Each structure stands twice: as C-alpha cells, then as structure tokens.
C-alpha cells in the first residue's frame, strides 16, 4: 500500500543519491518524524543501489540507528555496516554517532599544543561547556560534518540533524557560539589574559574597578580564576572556531549539499518543515525536497466515505453482515485519516509549490533492521 501522491513535483530520490556532484544530504525536521530512519535508509540505498562510499552521521543519542544496522554501538568514529547487498555496485556503508565532548576534545587537540590541551581539559569551565553548554551539540555537529567533508574520504555524507526543539538550531549554532565568544563579559575577561602575564585580579580591578569587585563577590575568586583560565586557554582557538564555522556554512550553501525536509502528517511537524524551508530559502541553501513519512491510504481509492456509510446503513438494516460492516467502518475511518493527512501536508505544499516532495506509507511495525531500512529506501525512491 503506497501513500497518497502529493500535488507537487515528485522528488527524485534515486537521482539525488546517484548524482556524484551531491556530496552531502542533510535530513532536517522536528523530533519524532523519522529523520534517523530516513537518513539510514538513504545511506543504505546510496551504498547498495548506487555504489557510493557512504557515511551516515547521526546526532540522535538513541540507539535506533545502531540497532537497525546490526551494530552493537556507534561512536565518534565511522563503523562499517556489514552484510549489506552492495556486491554488484561496490558501495560501502558506514555509520557514526556524534560524541559531543569527544569532538570538542578533538578540536582542542588539533588546534593547540599538548600542554595547552591538557590545561583546557582540566578546566572546570571547559568540562561544563563541552558537555552541557547550550548549542554545543549543534555546533559540534557542524564541526564533525566539516571534518568528514575536509577528509574527502566519502562519496556521500548523510546527516541526521540533532533532535532539537527547533530544527533551526542546527543552522543557528555557529552564530550562537560567535555571539558567546563576542560577548561583553568574555571580552572583559580576555583583556587580562592578553595583557602579558599581569595578575588577573589586579588588572581587572584597574580596568573595571567596582565591576571586578562585584564579579568576585558574586562568583568567588576561584570561580573567576577558573573562568579566566578557560578563556585564556581557548583564546588562540576562537578565530579557528569562527573560521571553521564559516567554512562549513559555505559548504551547506554549496550545490554539493542537498537539504531534505522530513515531516510527518501532523500540523506541528509540517509547520516546522515550513519554517525551515523559509530559512533555507532566505539563507540561499539548496532545498532538494520534502519527505512526508507515515502517510495512510486505502487500497480502495474509488470507494468514498459516503458510499461506505451508505453500505453500512443498508447492511445493518438487513442484519447478519457484522464482518462486512466492520470492514466498511475500518475503510471509512482509514479514508478519513488519509484525507486529513493529505490536507495537513498541503499546508506545506501549497506554500512551497515548486519544492519536490514524496511520501512514505505508514509501516505496520517500527523499522529495526537492514531489511526494514531497505524497504523504506525503496518507498522513498
């Protein structure tokens, strides 16, 4: 049973995956719409059908991707998925899950000396920021994507974006980090670190007087020392953070990247996809299309709800047709659901009539293995 066709240009998923000029596919959307499964299915099809050396990068801490690919676990290093049927095409499939703190550690190790790296790792502020600072996960996803693309090892990188409250967080992360690094408090704390070795407290007191004493009183001397040490240690890296963020942002704007919006036929999910589409258009990022998951239809397309209800009324009056009546009621309910879902999806397609779209039929069970991913990939295509 296939899902209803959407009244917009059809999204050519196989054409997208087979195109050697497309090096990155970014799956975006609200949480719970099937982004991870879609990303994995796209990666599997790219490897098996189109012979591409593919890596799927998921930011979702749930273990669904690892389980569906037959892996016991995923970490910050790509792991090859065994047992895929790519013998004829020569493709490969690898998968990895972003380790936010490990990626931050790798950035520090790559862009500073071993001694300075150890100082940064030991700093309480770094330990907190690398694990819990708002936006760090999304920014490190951008960092990891930049690393994967710079290595030029992969024919195709498929990104499953973070399960954020807002799908826009992924694109906003570099700007949010820059605002943090450019903040007034941070610049004031950087001033003594750049001063050439004078005591932090004497310099800050000289520079800011009552401000510094108030900060010490509120935060405590040790906490302020830790913060100053953290800022001083990272100071030489700040420019690199911005530079790499800008480079990755430019990659996302390049025609080598294709954004796929993933939605379910639910108002909030479709609204989120529309917000993201507006942002992609305004940022001149290549929006390839929309995938609507979990759509319903009935095999009896020409049998309307009104006809079903008329038959139910007639059979009920005759008596003795309980099974037929139950089937007709299920049919009528399914038709109503399919019509409702099509109307919800139209909230996007009417606003973006030129954006190609495809839909995937609701499955009887959750996808939990490679065969299930293969089925989703075929439905996408």
pLDDT score at 341: 93
Contacts (Cβ under 8 Å, ≥6 apart) of 8: 290, 349, 352, 353, 354, 355, 356, 357
Quick: pLDDT tens for 171-229: 777 667 666 666 555 555 555 544 544 444 444 444 444 444 554 454 455 666 666 66
Quick: pLDDT tens for 23-49: 999 999 888 899 989 999 999 999 999
- Please say if the pLDDT value at position 272 is more than 70: yes
DSSP string over 282-320:
HTT--EEEEEEEEE---S-TT--HHHHHHHHHHHHHH-S
The structure's pTM equals 0.82
Q: Tell me the C-alpha distance between 161 and 280, whole Å.
A: 15
Q: How far apart are the first and last CA of the chain?
A: 15
With cut-offs at 50, 70 and 90, classify the pLDDT of residue 115. Answer: confident
pLDDT score at 190: 53
Q: Tell me the C-alpha distance between 254 and 362, whole Å.
A: 33
Average pLDDT of the residues in 347-366 = 92
Q: Higher-confidence residue: 46 or 130?
A: 46
Bridge-based pairing state of the strands 257-263 and 24-28: parallel
pLDDT score at 283: 87
Q: Tell me the C-alpha distance between 368 and 62, whole Å.
A: 13
Q: Higher-confidence residue: 131 or 121?
A: 121
What domains sit in the chain, N to C, each tagged with a CATH number?
Answer: 13-301+333-380 (3.40.50.300)
Quick: pLDDT tens for 278-302: 989 998 999 999 999 999 987 777 7
pLDDT score at 191: 57
User: What angle is formed at CA 47 by the lines to CA 294 and CA 356, rounded to 5 degrees?
Assistant: 45
Measured N-to-C along each axis, helices 200-208 and 184-193 cross at an angle, to the nearest 10 degrees, of 130
Instruction: Tell me the average pLDDT of the chain.
Output: 81
With cut-offs at 50, 70 and 90, classify the pLDDT of residue 360. Answer: very high
Least confidently predicted of 65-74, 253-262, 307-316: 65-74
Q: Tell me the C-alpha distance between 35 and 141, whole Å.
A: 15
- Please say if the pLDDT value at position 89 is more than 70: yes
Q: Higher-confidence residue: 202 or 119?
A: 119
Q: Tell me the C-alpha distance between 19 and 166, whole Å.
A: 30
With cut-offs at 50, 70 and 90, classify the pLDDT of residue 53. Answer: very high
């Amino acid at each position: 049973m296939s899902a209803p066709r959407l009244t917009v240009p059809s999204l050519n998923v196989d054409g997208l995956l087979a195109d050697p000029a497309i090096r990155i596919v970014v799956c975006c959307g609200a949480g719970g719409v099937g982004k991870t499964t879609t990303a994995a299915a796209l990666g599997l099809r790219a490897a098996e059908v189109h012979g591409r050396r593919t890596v799927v990068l998921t930011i979702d801490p749930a273990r669904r991707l690892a389980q569906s690919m037959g892996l016991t676990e995923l970490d910050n290093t790509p792991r090859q998925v065994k047992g895929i049927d790519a013998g004829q095409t020569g493709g490969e499939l690898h998968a990895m899950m972003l380790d936010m703190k490990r990626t931050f550690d790798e950035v520090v190790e790559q862009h500073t000396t071993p001694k300075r790296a150890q100082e940064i790792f030991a700093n309480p502020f770094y330990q907190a920021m690398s694990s819990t600072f708002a936006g760090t996960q999304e920014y490190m996803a951008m960092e990891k994507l930049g690393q994967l693309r710079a290595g030029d090892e992969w024919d195709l990188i498929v990104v499953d974006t973070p399960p954020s409250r807002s799908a826009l967080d992924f694109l906003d992360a570099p700007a949010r980090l820059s605002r943090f690094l450019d903040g007034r408090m941070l610049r004031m704390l950087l001033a003594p670190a750049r001063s050439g070795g004078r005591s932090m407290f004497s310099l800050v007191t000289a520079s800011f007087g009552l401000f510094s004493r108030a900060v010490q009183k509120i935060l405590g001397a040790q906490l302020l020392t830790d913060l100053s040490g953290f800022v001083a240690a990272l100071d030489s890296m700040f420019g690199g953070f911005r530079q790499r963020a800008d480079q990755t942002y430019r990659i996302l704007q390049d025609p080598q990247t294709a954004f796929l919006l993933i939605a379910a036929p639910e108002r909030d999910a479709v609204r989120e996809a529309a917000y993201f589409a507006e942002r992609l258009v305004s940022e001149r990022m290549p929006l390839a299309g929309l995938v609507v998951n979990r759509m319903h239809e009935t095999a009896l397309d020409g049998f309307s709800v009104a006809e079903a209800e008329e038959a139910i009324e007639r059979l009920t009056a005759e008596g003795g047709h309980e099974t037929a009546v139950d089937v007709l009621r299920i049919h009528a309910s399914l038709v109503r659901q399919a019509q409702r879902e099509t109307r919800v999806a139209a909230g996007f397609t009417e606003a973006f009539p030129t954006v190609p779209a495809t839909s995937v039929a609701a499955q009887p069970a959750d996808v939990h293995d490679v065969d299930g991913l293969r089925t989703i990939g075929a439905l996408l295509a």
